[in-house]
Structure 1
Protein backbone atom coordinates (compact mmCIF):
# COMPACT_ATOMS: atom_id res chain seq x y z
CA UNK A 1 0.00 0.00 0.00
CA UNK A 2 1.35 3.39 -1.03
CA UNK A 3 2.30 5.83 1.71
CA UNK A 4 0.31 9.06 2.05
CA UNK A 5 1.71 11.96 0.02
CA UNK A 6 3.28 14.60 2.32
CA UNK A 7 1.66 18.02 1.81
CA UNK A 8 3.23 20.96 3.65
CA UNK A 9 1.56 24.36 3.47
CA UNK A 10 2.70 27.74 4.74
CA UNK A 11 -0.59 28.87 6.24
CA UNK A 12 0.56 32.46 6.75
CA UNK A 13 1.07 33.68 3.20
CA UNK A 14 -0.93 34.83 0.19
CA UNK A 15 -3.85 32.69 -0.89
CA UNK A 16 -3.40 30.25 2.00
CA UNK A 17 -3.90 33.00 4.58
CA UNK A 18 -6.97 34.27 2.72
CA UNK A 19 -8.60 30.83 3.09
CA UNK A 20 -8.32 31.15 6.88
CA UNK A 21 -9.93 28.37 8.88
CA UNK A 22 -11.20 26.66 5.72
CA UNK A 23 -7.63 26.02 4.46
CA UNK A 24 -7.28 22.48 5.81
CA UNK A 25 -10.69 21.31 4.64
CA UNK A 26 -10.25 22.90 1.20
CA UNK A 27 -6.90 21.21 0.62
CA UNK A 28 -8.08 17.83 1.92
CA UNK A 29 -11.12 17.92 -0.36
CA UNK A 30 -9.00 18.79 -3.39
CA UNK A 31 -6.67 15.83 -2.86
CA UNK A 32 -9.59 13.51 -2.08
CA UNK A 33 -11.16 14.49 -5.40
CA UNK A 34 -7.85 13.54 -7.07
CA UNK A 35 -7.95 10.15 -5.33
CA UNK A 36 -4.80 10.80 -3.30
CA UNK A 37 -4.34 10.10 0.40
CA UNK A 38 -2.20 12.78 2.04
CA UNK A 39 -0.35 13.63 5.21
CA UNK A 40 -1.17 17.35 5.62
CA UNK A 41 0.81 19.75 7.77
CA UNK A 42 0.02 23.45 8.14
CA UNK A 43 3.20 25.22 9.21
CA UNK A 44 4.50 28.78 9.39
CA UNK A 45 7.40 30.01 7.29
CA UNK A 46 9.94 29.55 10.06
CA UNK A 47 9.07 25.87 10.40
CA UNK A 48 9.01 24.96 6.72
CA UNK A 49 12.67 23.88 6.37
CA UNK A 50 12.37 21.44 9.28
CA UNK A 51 9.08 20.08 7.95
CA UNK A 52 10.52 19.49 4.46
CA UNK A 53 13.65 17.86 5.92
CA UNK A 54 11.52 15.21 7.63
CA UNK A 55 10.35 14.01 4.20
CA UNK A 56 13.62 14.34 2.28
CA UNK A 57 14.32 11.10 0.43
CA UNK A 58 10.69 10.37 -0.47
CA UNK A 59 9.72 10.39 -4.16
CA UNK A 60 7.93 13.74 -3.91
CA UNK A 61 6.87 16.35 -1.40
CA UNK A 62 4.06 18.85 -2.02
CA UNK A 63 4.72 22.37 -0.74
CA UNK A 64 2.13 25.13 -0.75
CA UNK A 65 3.12 28.78 -0.54
CA UNK A 66 4.82 31.59 -2.41
CA UNK A 67 8.26 31.84 -3.96
CA UNK A 68 9.99 32.46 -0.64
CA UNK A 69 8.48 29.27 0.78
CA UNK A 70 9.46 27.30 -2.32
CA UNK A 71 13.00 28.67 -2.09
CA UNK A 72 13.18 27.43 1.49
CA UNK A 73 12.00 23.97 0.41
CA UNK A 74 14.44 23.96 -2.51
CA UNK A 75 17.34 24.58 -0.11
CA UNK A 76 16.48 21.36 1.71
CA UNK A 77 15.76 19.29 -1.41
CA UNK A 78 18.68 20.48 -3.56
CA UNK A 79 20.76 17.62 -4.98
CA UNK A 80 18.41 14.92 -3.66
CA UNK A 81 16.10 12.56 -5.61
CA UNK A 82 13.00 14.07 -3.93
CA UNK A 83 10.85 16.06 -6.37
CA UNK A 84 9.11 19.26 -5.26
CA UNK A 85 5.43 19.47 -6.20
CA UNK A 86 4.00 22.99 -5.98
CA UNK A 87 0.69 24.38 -4.78
CA UNK A 88 0.85 28.08 -5.80
CA UNK A 89 -0.60 29.67 -2.66
CA UNK A 90 1.57 32.80 -2.54
CA UNK A 91 1.08 36.33 -3.82
CA UNK A 92 2.85 36.31 -7.19
CA UNK A 93 3.79 32.66 -7.72
CA UNK A 94 6.54 33.36 -10.25
CA UNK A 95 8.04 29.86 -10.20
CA UNK A 96 4.66 28.17 -10.59
CA UNK A 97 3.84 30.39 -13.56
CA UNK A 98 7.22 29.72 -15.14
CA UNK A 99 6.66 25.95 -14.83
CA UNK A 100 3.10 26.33 -16.19
CA UNK A 101 1.53 24.98 -13.02
CA UNK A 102 -2.12 26.05 -12.80
CA UNK A 103 -2.95 28.69 -10.21
CA UNK A 104 -6.34 27.13 -9.44
CA UNK A 105 -6.05 24.76 -6.47
CA UNK A 106 -7.85 21.74 -7.93
CA UNK A 107 -5.81 21.87 -11.14
CA UNK A 108 -2.55 22.35 -9.22
CA UNK A 109 -3.41 19.35 -7.03
CA UNK A 110 -3.96 17.24 -10.15
CA UNK A 111 -0.46 18.15 -11.33
CA UNK A 112 1.06 17.48 -7.90
CA UNK A 113 -0.50 13.99 -7.89
CA UNK A 114 -0.04 12.94 -11.51
CA UNK A 115 2.44 15.33 -13.10
CA UNK A 116 5.77 14.67 -14.77
CA UNK A 117 9.05 14.93 -12.87
CA UNK A 118 12.00 16.87 -14.29
CA UNK A 119 15.07 18.69 -12.98
CA UNK A 120 15.73 22.43 -13.03
CA UNK A 121 18.59 24.71 -12.04
CA UNK A 122 18.77 26.64 -8.81
CA UNK A 123 20.72 29.76 -7.95
CA UNK A 124 22.77 30.07 -4.78
CA UNK A 125 24.14 33.08 -2.91
CA UNK A 126 26.59 31.68 -0.41
CA UNK A 127 24.51 28.94 1.21
CA UNK A 128 21.19 30.66 0.45
CA UNK A 129 19.31 29.04 -2.44
CA UNK A 130 16.93 30.95 -4.69
CA UNK A 131 14.54 29.62 -7.33
CA UNK A 132 13.89 32.89 -9.17
CA UNK A 133 16.27 35.74 -8.43
CA UNK A 134 18.36 37.73 -6.00
CA UNK A 135 18.22 41.55 -5.90
CA UNK A 136 20.40 44.15 -4.23
CA UNK A 137 19.88 47.89 -3.82
CA UNK A 138 16.57 49.68 -4.17
CA UNK A 139 14.45 46.53 -4.23
CA UNK A 140 15.57 45.47 -0.76
CA UNK A 141 14.48 48.84 0.61
CA UNK A 142 11.15 48.48 -1.20
CA UNK A 143 10.52 45.04 0.37
CA UNK A 144 11.42 46.33 3.84
CA UNK A 145 9.06 49.30 3.53
CA UNK A 146 6.25 47.18 2.10
CA UNK A 147 6.47 44.51 4.81
CA UNK A 148 6.55 47.04 7.66
CA UNK A 149 2.94 47.96 6.91
CA UNK A 150 -0.23 46.08 7.70
CA UNK A 151 -2.42 45.02 4.83
CA UNK A 152 -2.10 43.10 1.56
CA UNK A 153 1.23 43.27 -0.26
CA UNK A 154 -0.24 44.74 -3.44
CA UNK A 155 -1.70 47.69 -1.53
CA UNK A 156 1.41 48.20 0.61
CA UNK A 157 3.50 48.34 -2.56
CA UNK A 158 2.15 51.77 -3.49
CA UNK A 159 3.50 53.82 -0.54
CA UNK A 160 6.62 51.61 -0.43
CA UNK A 161 7.42 52.49 -4.04
CA UNK A 162 6.97 56.19 -3.36
CA UNK A 163 9.25 56.00 -0.31
CA UNK A 164 12.15 54.26 -2.07
CA UNK A 165 11.98 56.56 -5.08
CA UNK A 166 12.22 59.62 -2.83
CA UNK A 167 15.29 58.19 -1.09
CA UNK A 168 16.82 56.46 -4.09
CA UNK A 169 20.56 56.44 -4.62
CA UNK A 170 22.96 54.50 -6.82
CA UNK A 171 25.26 52.01 -5.14
CA UNK A 172 28.66 50.98 -6.45
CA UNK A 173 29.23 47.25 -6.92
CA UNK A 174 32.54 45.58 -7.65
CA UNK A 175 31.72 42.39 -9.53
CA UNK A 176 33.49 39.41 -10.97
CA UNK A 177 31.59 37.63 -13.77
CA UNK A 178 33.17 34.25 -14.53
CA UNK A 179 36.57 35.73 -13.77
CA UNK A 180 36.04 39.06 -15.56
CA UNK A 181 36.03 42.12 -13.25
CA UNK A 182 33.34 44.81 -13.52
CA UNK A 183 32.53 47.94 -11.52
CA UNK A 184 29.02 49.33 -11.87
CA UNK A 185 27.04 52.11 -10.20
CA UNK A 186 23.39 51.14 -10.07
CA UNK A 187 20.27 51.57 -7.91
CA UNK A 188 19.34 47.92 -8.59
CA UNK A 189 21.47 44.84 -9.19
CA UNK A 190 19.41 41.83 -10.31
CA UNK A 191 20.78 38.28 -10.54
CA UNK A 192 18.36 35.75 -12.00
CA UNK A 193 18.36 31.96 -11.95
CA UNK A 194 18.65 31.20 -15.69
CA UNK A 195 18.38 33.78 -18.44
CA UNK A 196 15.55 36.28 -18.08
CA UNK A 197 13.98 37.97 -21.08
CA UNK A 198 13.39 41.71 -21.45
CA UNK A 199 11.76 41.30 -24.88
CA UNK A 200 8.27 42.69 -25.63
CA UNK A 201 5.57 40.42 -24.22
CA UNK A 202 8.10 38.21 -22.44
CA UNK A 203 9.41 40.43 -19.64
CA UNK A 204 10.54 38.31 -16.69
CA UNK A 205 10.08 35.00 -18.50
CA UNK A 206 12.79 32.39 -18.92
CA UNK A 207 13.33 30.42 -22.11
CA UNK A 208 14.67 27.49 -20.10
CA UNK A 209 15.09 26.48 -16.47
CA UNK A 210 18.18 24.37 -17.07
CA UNK A 211 20.68 26.50 -19.02
CA UNK A 212 23.23 26.62 -16.19
CA UNK A 213 23.48 30.41 -16.32
CA UNK A 214 22.65 33.42 -14.15
CA UNK A 215 21.24 36.63 -15.62
CA UNK A 216 22.89 39.84 -14.47
CA UNK A 217 21.10 43.17 -14.93
CA UNK A 218 22.37 46.39 -13.38
CA UNK A 219 19.91 49.23 -13.98
CA UNK A 220 21.57 52.42 -15.20
CA UNK A 221 22.00 55.13 -12.55
CA UNK A 222 19.33 57.78 -13.06
CA UNK A 223 16.94 60.06 -11.20
CA UNK A 224 13.55 58.98 -9.81
CA UNK A 225 11.52 60.24 -12.76
CA UNK A 226 13.74 58.49 -15.29
CA UNK A 227 13.65 55.32 -13.20
CA UNK A 228 9.84 55.36 -13.27
CA UNK A 229 10.00 55.87 -17.04
CA UNK A 230 12.36 52.90 -17.31
CA UNK A 231 10.00 50.73 -15.24
CA UNK A 232 7.11 51.62 -17.53
CA UNK A 233 9.18 50.87 -20.64
CA UNK A 234 10.26 47.55 -19.16
CA UNK A 235 6.67 46.56 -18.40
CA UNK A 236 5.72 46.94 -22.07
CA UNK A 237 8.93 45.35 -23.31
CA UNK A 238 10.65 48.52 -24.54
CA UNK A 239 13.71 48.41 -22.27
CA UNK A 240 16.98 48.52 -24.19
CA UNK A 241 20.30 47.23 -22.82
CA UNK A 242 22.40 50.07 -24.27
CA UNK A 243 20.15 52.74 -22.75
CA UNK A 244 18.66 51.29 -19.59
CA UNK A 245 21.33 49.02 -18.11
CA UNK A 246 24.85 49.66 -16.86
CA UNK A 247 25.46 45.92 -17.17
CA UNK A 248 23.51 43.22 -18.98
CA UNK A 249 25.20 39.82 -19.07
CA UNK A 250 25.05 36.14 -18.19
CA UNK A 251 27.51 34.04 -16.21
CA UNK A 252 27.72 30.77 -14.31
CA UNK A 253 29.19 32.59 -11.31
CA UNK A 254 29.07 36.15 -9.97
CA UNK A 255 31.07 37.47 -7.04
CA UNK A 256 30.09 40.72 -5.32
CA UNK A 257 33.37 41.91 -3.83
CA UNK A 258 33.90 44.02 -0.74
CA UNK A 259 33.98 43.86 3.03
CA UNK A 260 31.26 43.80 5.64
CA UNK A 261 27.67 42.85 4.82
CA UNK A 262 25.12 43.35 2.06
CA UNK A 263 21.35 43.02 2.23
CA UNK A 264 19.73 41.02 -0.53
CA UNK A 265 16.21 39.98 -1.45
CA UNK A 266 16.14 36.29 -2.36
CA UNK A 267 12.83 35.32 -3.97
CA UNK A 268 11.46 38.37 -2.16
CA UNK A 269 12.81 37.36 1.28
CA UNK A 270 15.35 39.72 2.90
CA UNK A 271 18.63 38.48 4.34
CA UNK A 272 21.99 40.03 5.23
CA UNK A 273 24.96 38.26 3.65
CA UNK A 274 28.69 38.55 4.29
CA UNK A 275 30.97 40.03 1.60
CA UNK A 276 32.53 38.95 -0.64
CA UNK A 277 29.38 37.13 -1.76
CA UNK A 278 29.56 34.34 -4.34
CA UNK A 279 26.46 33.69 -6.44
CA UNK A 280 26.42 30.67 -8.70
CA UNK A 281 24.22 28.44 -10.81
CA UNK A 282 23.48 24.96 -9.46
CA UNK A 283 22.72 23.01 -12.65
CA UNK A 284 19.84 20.50 -12.50
CA UNK A 285 19.89 20.71 -8.70
CA UNK A 286 16.15 20.40 -8.04
CA UNK A 287 13.53 17.87 -9.06
CA UNK A 288 10.10 19.41 -9.68
CA UNK A 289 6.68 18.13 -10.72
CA UNK A 290 5.09 19.85 -13.74
CA UNK A 291 2.22 19.21 -16.15
CA UNK A 292 2.96 16.20 -18.34
CA UNK A 293 2.08 17.85 -21.63
CA UNK A 294 4.63 20.67 -21.16
CA UNK A 295 7.65 18.78 -19.86
CA UNK A 296 10.60 16.84 -21.11
CA UNK A 297 10.90 13.07 -20.58
CA UNK A 298 11.76 11.92 -17.07
CA UNK A 299 15.52 11.92 -17.15
CA UNK A 300 18.29 12.81 -14.75
CA UNK A 301 15.88 12.84 -11.79
CA UNK A 302 18.21 10.65 -9.79
CA UNK A 303 21.43 12.16 -11.08
CA UNK A 304 22.79 14.02 -8.08
CA UNK A 305 25.24 16.69 -9.15
CA UNK A 306 28.48 17.36 -7.38
CA UNK A 307 27.70 21.01 -6.60
CA UNK A 308 26.47 21.55 -3.06
CA UNK A 309 24.73 24.39 -1.33
CA UNK A 310 26.60 23.92 1.89
Structure 2
Protein backbone atom coordinates (compact mmCIF):
# COMPACT_ATOMS: atom_id res chain seq x y z
CA UNK A 1 0.00 0.00 0.00
CA UNK A 2 1.47 3.38 -1.01
CA UNK A 3 1.80 6.22 1.47
CA UNK A 4 -0.65 9.05 0.84
CA UNK A 5 0.66 12.65 1.12
CA UNK A 6 -1.62 15.72 1.29
CA UNK A 7 -0.29 17.85 -1.57
CA UNK A 8 -1.30 21.50 -1.98
CA UNK A 9 -0.08 23.54 -4.94
CA UNK A 10 -0.44 27.28 -5.54
CA UNK A 11 -2.11 27.54 -8.93
CA UNK A 12 -0.30 30.81 -9.73
CA UNK A 13 3.25 29.71 -8.80
CA UNK A 14 5.73 30.42 -11.60
CA UNK A 15 6.68 26.85 -12.54
CA UNK A 16 3.19 25.56 -11.71
CA UNK A 17 1.58 28.05 -14.09
CA UNK A 18 4.03 27.12 -16.86
CA UNK A 19 3.13 23.43 -16.54
CA UNK A 20 -0.55 24.27 -17.08
CA UNK A 21 -2.62 21.14 -17.77
CA UNK A 22 0.48 18.98 -17.25
CA UNK A 23 0.81 20.06 -13.60
CA UNK A 24 -1.43 17.46 -11.94
CA UNK A 25 -0.32 14.41 -13.97
CA UNK A 26 3.36 15.40 -13.58
CA UNK A 27 3.10 15.59 -9.79
CA UNK A 28 1.07 12.40 -9.49
CA UNK A 29 3.47 10.45 -11.73
CA UNK A 30 6.49 11.69 -9.75
CA UNK A 31 4.94 10.60 -6.46
CA UNK A 32 3.89 7.21 -7.85
CA UNK A 33 7.44 6.55 -9.03
CA UNK A 34 8.62 7.10 -5.44
CA UNK A 35 5.96 4.77 -4.03
CA UNK A 36 3.75 7.62 -2.80
CA UNK A 37 0.28 8.88 -3.60
CA UNK A 38 -0.30 12.63 -3.93
CA UNK A 39 -3.66 13.75 -2.50
CA UNK A 40 -3.47 16.69 -4.86
CA UNK A 41 -5.34 19.98 -4.46
CA UNK A 42 -4.66 22.98 -6.71
CA UNK A 43 -5.32 26.02 -4.53
CA UNK A 44 -5.49 29.77 -5.11
CA UNK A 45 -2.53 31.53 -3.51
CA UNK A 46 -4.71 33.47 -1.06
CA UNK A 47 -6.11 30.22 0.32
CA UNK A 48 -2.84 28.33 0.86
CA UNK A 49 -2.59 29.04 4.59
CA UNK A 50 -6.16 27.85 5.27
CA UNK A 51 -5.67 24.76 3.10
CA UNK A 52 -2.46 23.84 4.92
CA UNK A 53 -4.07 24.36 8.33
CA UNK A 54 -6.84 21.97 7.32
CA UNK A 55 -4.58 19.33 5.76
CA UNK A 56 -1.62 19.31 8.15
CA UNK A 57 -1.66 16.69 10.87
CA UNK A 58 1.33 14.94 12.37
CA UNK A 59 2.74 13.56 9.13
CA UNK A 60 4.08 15.12 5.94
CA UNK A 61 2.25 17.81 3.99
CA UNK A 62 3.67 18.76 0.58
CA UNK A 63 3.28 22.34 -0.63
CA UNK A 64 4.12 23.58 -4.11
CA UNK A 65 4.86 27.18 -5.02
CA UNK A 66 7.45 29.90 -4.59
CA UNK A 67 9.00 31.25 -1.41
CA UNK A 68 5.97 33.40 -0.56
CA UNK A 69 3.74 30.33 -0.72
CA UNK A 70 6.19 28.31 1.38
CA UNK A 71 6.35 31.09 3.99
CA UNK A 72 2.54 31.09 4.32
CA UNK A 73 2.50 27.31 4.62
CA UNK A 74 5.28 27.35 7.22
CA UNK A 75 3.41 29.88 9.33
CA UNK A 76 0.23 27.80 9.18
CA UNK A 77 2.09 24.64 10.25
CA UNK A 78 3.83 26.34 13.19
CA UNK A 79 0.61 28.09 14.27
CA UNK A 80 -1.05 24.68 14.27
CA UNK A 81 1.45 23.29 16.76
CA UNK A 82 4.35 22.50 14.42
CA UNK A 83 3.74 18.74 14.40
CA UNK A 84 3.54 18.42 10.62
CA UNK A 85 6.61 18.13 8.40
CA UNK A 86 6.74 20.45 5.38
CA UNK A 87 7.82 18.97 2.04
CA UNK A 88 8.59 21.69 -0.49
CA UNK A 89 7.73 21.25 -4.16
CA UNK A 90 9.79 24.00 -5.86
CA UNK A 91 7.14 25.32 -8.22
CA UNK A 92 7.81 29.04 -7.95
CA UNK A 93 10.11 31.27 -9.98
CA UNK A 94 13.28 31.26 -7.85
CA UNK A 95 12.70 28.81 -4.99
CA UNK A 96 15.50 30.16 -2.77
CA UNK A 97 14.70 28.13 0.36
CA UNK A 98 14.39 24.90 -1.61
CA UNK A 99 17.83 25.50 -3.08
CA UNK A 100 19.37 26.13 0.34
CA UNK A 101 17.84 22.89 1.64
CA UNK A 102 19.31 20.92 -1.25
CA UNK A 103 15.89 20.18 -2.73
CA UNK A 104 16.25 19.41 -6.46
CA UNK A 105 14.21 21.11 -9.15
CA UNK A 106 13.12 17.80 -10.70
CA UNK A 107 9.82 16.64 -9.18
CA UNK A 108 10.72 12.97 -9.50
CA UNK A 109 13.82 13.57 -7.38
CA UNK A 110 11.80 15.66 -4.92
CA UNK A 111 9.31 12.82 -4.47
CA UNK A 112 12.19 10.38 -3.87
CA UNK A 113 13.53 12.77 -1.21
CA UNK A 114 10.10 12.85 0.46
CA UNK A 115 9.97 9.04 0.44
CA UNK A 116 13.46 8.92 1.99
CA UNK A 117 12.14 11.04 4.87
CA UNK A 118 15.29 12.94 5.91
CA UNK A 119 14.36 16.10 7.84
CA UNK A 120 15.87 19.28 9.30
CA UNK A 121 14.56 21.80 11.79
CA UNK A 122 14.90 25.42 10.70
CA UNK A 123 14.01 28.85 12.05
CA UNK A 124 10.87 30.76 11.14
CA UNK A 125 10.89 34.57 11.22
CA UNK A 126 7.89 36.86 11.65
CA UNK A 127 6.95 40.49 11.28
CA UNK A 128 3.75 41.56 13.04
CA UNK A 129 2.79 37.89 13.09
CA UNK A 130 3.32 37.29 9.37
CA UNK A 131 5.74 34.41 8.79
CA UNK A 132 8.70 34.48 6.40
CA UNK A 133 11.30 31.85 5.60
CA UNK A 134 13.83 34.02 3.76
CA UNK A 135 13.66 37.78 4.22
CA UNK A 136 11.58 40.91 4.47
CA UNK A 137 12.37 44.41 3.26
CA UNK A 138 11.09 47.98 3.33
CA UNK A 139 11.91 50.53 0.64
CA UNK A 140 12.88 50.18 -2.99
CA UNK A 141 12.48 46.40 -3.21
CA UNK A 142 8.71 46.41 -2.40
CA UNK A 143 8.40 49.32 -4.85
CA UNK A 144 10.25 47.31 -7.50
CA UNK A 145 8.01 44.25 -6.96
CA UNK A 146 4.87 46.34 -7.47
CA UNK A 147 6.25 47.97 -10.63
CA UNK A 148 7.39 44.56 -11.92
CA UNK A 149 3.85 43.24 -11.49
CA UNK A 150 2.58 46.17 -13.57
CA UNK A 151 5.07 45.20 -16.31
CA UNK A 152 3.95 41.57 -16.10
CA UNK A 153 0.33 42.65 -16.49
CA UNK A 154 1.38 44.24 -19.78
CA UNK A 155 2.74 40.92 -21.00
CA UNK A 156 6.43 40.90 -20.00
CA UNK A 157 7.76 37.68 -18.43
CA UNK A 158 8.76 38.03 -14.78
CA UNK A 159 12.53 37.78 -15.34
CA UNK A 160 12.45 40.46 -18.04
CA UNK A 161 10.09 42.73 -16.09
CA UNK A 162 12.75 43.03 -13.36
CA UNK A 163 14.92 45.31 -15.52
CA UNK A 164 12.50 48.18 -16.26
CA UNK A 165 11.13 47.84 -12.73
CA UNK A 166 14.59 48.23 -11.18
CA UNK A 167 15.41 51.18 -13.42
CA UNK A 168 12.12 52.89 -12.59
CA UNK A 169 12.50 52.46 -8.84
CA UNK A 170 16.20 53.33 -8.56
CA UNK A 171 15.54 56.51 -10.55
CA UNK A 172 12.89 57.56 -8.04
CA UNK A 173 14.25 55.92 -4.88
CA UNK A 174 12.62 57.32 -1.76
CA UNK A 175 14.48 57.46 1.51
CA UNK A 176 12.67 56.26 4.62
CA UNK A 177 13.38 57.69 8.05
CA UNK A 178 13.10 54.71 10.40
CA UNK A 179 13.65 54.33 14.13
CA UNK A 180 15.19 50.97 15.02
CA UNK A 181 14.91 49.57 18.53
CA UNK A 182 17.37 46.72 18.93
CA UNK A 183 19.54 45.31 21.69
CA UNK A 184 18.09 47.73 24.21
CA UNK A 185 19.02 50.86 22.25
CA UNK A 186 17.47 53.11 19.62
CA UNK A 187 18.91 54.50 16.44
CA UNK A 188 17.39 56.43 13.56
CA UNK A 189 18.41 55.65 10.01
CA UNK A 190 17.55 57.32 6.73
CA UNK A 191 17.66 54.57 4.14
CA UNK A 192 16.25 53.62 0.73
CA UNK A 193 15.97 50.00 1.89
CA UNK A 194 15.91 48.09 5.17
CA UNK A 195 16.54 44.37 4.72
CA UNK A 196 15.85 41.75 7.40
CA UNK A 197 17.08 38.20 6.89
CA UNK A 198 15.93 35.05 8.63
CA UNK A 199 19.49 34.13 9.71
CA UNK A 200 22.63 35.75 8.30
CA UNK A 201 22.90 36.46 4.58
CA UNK A 202 26.32 36.21 2.98
CA UNK A 203 27.72 39.13 0.95
CA UNK A 204 30.94 37.49 -0.24
CA UNK A 205 31.67 36.76 -3.91
CA UNK A 206 29.66 33.86 -5.29
CA UNK A 207 27.57 33.53 -2.14
CA UNK A 208 25.22 36.54 -2.32
CA UNK A 209 21.65 35.60 -1.41
CA UNK A 210 22.74 32.48 0.48
CA UNK A 211 22.92 31.73 4.19
CA UNK A 212 25.54 29.79 6.09
CA UNK A 213 22.88 28.40 8.43
CA UNK A 214 19.10 28.22 8.70
CA UNK A 215 18.94 27.50 12.43
CA UNK A 216 21.09 30.10 14.24
CA UNK A 217 18.05 31.73 15.85
CA UNK A 218 19.04 35.22 14.68
CA UNK A 219 17.72 37.94 12.39
CA UNK A 220 20.25 39.85 10.28
CA UNK A 221 19.49 43.54 9.80
CA UNK A 222 20.92 45.60 6.94
CA UNK A 223 20.09 49.27 6.22
CA UNK A 224 21.44 50.53 2.91
CA UNK A 225 23.23 53.88 3.11
CA UNK A 226 21.54 56.94 1.63
CA UNK A 227 22.76 58.10 -1.75
CA UNK A 228 21.99 59.23 -5.28
CA UNK A 229 20.24 56.86 -7.72
CA UNK A 230 23.60 56.23 -9.42
CA UNK A 231 25.24 55.32 -6.12
CA UNK A 232 22.31 53.05 -5.17
CA UNK A 233 22.60 51.28 -8.52
CA UNK A 234 26.33 50.85 -7.90
CA UNK A 235 25.65 49.39 -4.43
CA UNK A 236 23.12 46.98 -5.93
CA UNK A 237 25.59 45.92 -8.63
CA UNK A 238 28.44 45.40 -6.14
CA UNK A 239 26.17 43.34 -3.91
CA UNK A 240 25.06 41.14 -6.80
CA UNK A 241 28.72 40.60 -7.72
CA UNK A 242 29.55 39.71 -4.12
CA UNK A 243 31.71 42.81 -3.60
CA UNK A 244 29.57 44.75 -1.13
CA UNK A 245 31.49 46.98 1.28
CA UNK A 246 29.51 46.57 4.50
CA UNK A 247 31.33 49.42 6.26
CA UNK A 248 30.57 51.86 3.43
CA UNK A 249 27.27 50.61 1.97
CA UNK A 250 25.22 49.89 5.09
CA UNK A 251 24.12 52.40 7.73
CA UNK A 252 23.21 49.73 10.28
CA UNK A 253 24.17 46.11 10.64
CA UNK A 254 23.07 43.84 13.47
CA UNK A 255 22.21 40.26 14.36
CA UNK A 256 19.42 40.08 16.92
CA UNK A 257 16.63 37.78 18.13
CA UNK A 258 13.97 40.50 17.98
CA UNK A 259 13.66 44.21 17.21
CA UNK A 260 11.21 46.94 16.22
CA UNK A 261 11.06 49.38 13.34
CA UNK A 262 8.96 52.52 13.65
CA UNK A 263 8.08 54.50 10.56
CA UNK A 264 6.67 58.03 10.36
CA UNK A 265 3.61 56.71 8.53
CA UNK A 266 0.83 54.77 10.24
CA UNK A 267 1.45 51.91 7.86
CA UNK A 268 4.21 50.91 5.50
CA UNK A 269 4.65 48.58 2.54
CA UNK A 270 6.88 45.60 3.12
CA UNK A 271 7.96 42.71 0.92
CA UNK A 272 7.79 39.38 2.75
CA UNK A 273 9.48 36.56 0.81
CA UNK A 274 8.80 38.60 -2.32
CA UNK A 275 5.10 39.26 -1.60
CA UNK A 276 4.15 42.90 -0.92
CA UNK A 277 1.68 43.78 1.83
CA UNK A 278 1.02 46.83 3.98
CA UNK A 279 1.48 46.60 7.76
CA UNK A 280 0.89 49.04 10.59
CA UNK A 281 3.88 50.66 12.24
CA UNK A 282 5.76 49.70 14.34
CA UNK A 283 7.02 46.56 12.63
CA UNK A 284 7.88 43.93 15.24
CA UNK A 285 10.34 41.33 14.00
CA UNK A 286 10.94 38.07 15.86
CA UNK A 287 12.42 34.65 15.14
CA UNK A 288 11.20 31.23 16.29
CA UNK A 289 14.28 29.02 16.53
CA UNK A 290 13.97 25.59 14.92
CA UNK A 291 10.17 25.89 14.89
CA UNK A 292 9.67 24.23 11.49
CA UNK A 293 10.49 20.67 10.40
CA UNK A 294 11.20 20.32 6.67
CA UNK A 295 12.12 17.52 4.29
CA UNK A 296 15.67 18.26 3.14
CA UNK A 297 18.84 16.72 1.76
CA UNK A 298 20.86 15.48 4.77
CA UNK A 299 23.68 17.79 5.89
CA UNK A 300 27.22 16.43 5.39
CA UNK A 301 28.85 15.10 8.57
CA UNK A 302 30.90 17.65 10.50
Question: Which bracket does the TM-score occupy, shorter chain normalised?
Answer: over 0.9
SS of corresponding position for 1:54: helix
Cα distance 1:202–1:130, how it changes in 2: closer, same or farther (>3 A)? Answer: same
Cα offset, 1:142, TM superposition:
0.4
Contact 1:9/1:63 (8 A) holds in 2: yes
In structure 1, the residue matched to 2:202 is 197
* Residues 1:26 and 2:26 aligned together: yes
| 3-state SS in 2 of match to 1:161 | helix
| Distance (whole Å) between structure 2 residues aligned to residue 295 and residue 54 of structure 1 | 35
CA distance in 2, matches of 1:291, 1:13: 23
Relative distance call for 1:189 and 1:157 in structure 2 (3 A) is: same
User: Is 1:116–1:295's contact at 8 Å kept on the other side of the alignment?
Assistant: no
Residues 196 and 51 from structure 1, CA distance in 2 versus in 1: closer, same or farther, beyond 3 angstroms?
same
Residues 1:67 and 1:233: Cα distance change in structure 2 (over 3 Å): same
Counterpart Cα distance in 2 of 1:58 and 1:94: 26
What does residue 250 of structure 2 align with? Answer: 245
- For residues 32-78 of structure 1, give each alpha carbon's deviation from its aligned partner in whole angstroms, at most 9, with x where no partner exists: 11111221111110121121011222311000100010011011011
Q: Which residue among 133, 136, 139 is the counterpart of 1:134?
A: 136
Whether 1:114 aligns to 2:119 is: no
- In the TM superposition, what are the counterparts of 1:74-93 in structure 2 within 5 Å? 74-78=74-78, 79-93=81-95
Offset at 1:134? Answer: 0.5
Say which of 260, 275, 280 aligns to 2:266: 260
Partner SS, residue 26 of structure 1 = helix
CA contact (8 A) 2:2 2:35 kept: no
Segments of 5+ residues of structure 1 without an aligned counterpart are 298-310
| TM value normalised by structure 2 | 0.94
The structural deviation recorded for 1:295 is 6.5
- Distance, in Å, in 2 between the alignment partners of 1:295 and 1:20 is 37
Report the TM-score, using the length of structure 1 for normalisation: 0.92
Q: CA deviation at 1:115?
A: 3.3
- Report the RMSD for the aligned CA atoms in angstroms: 1.6
Aligned residues: 296
Matched residue, 1:214: 219
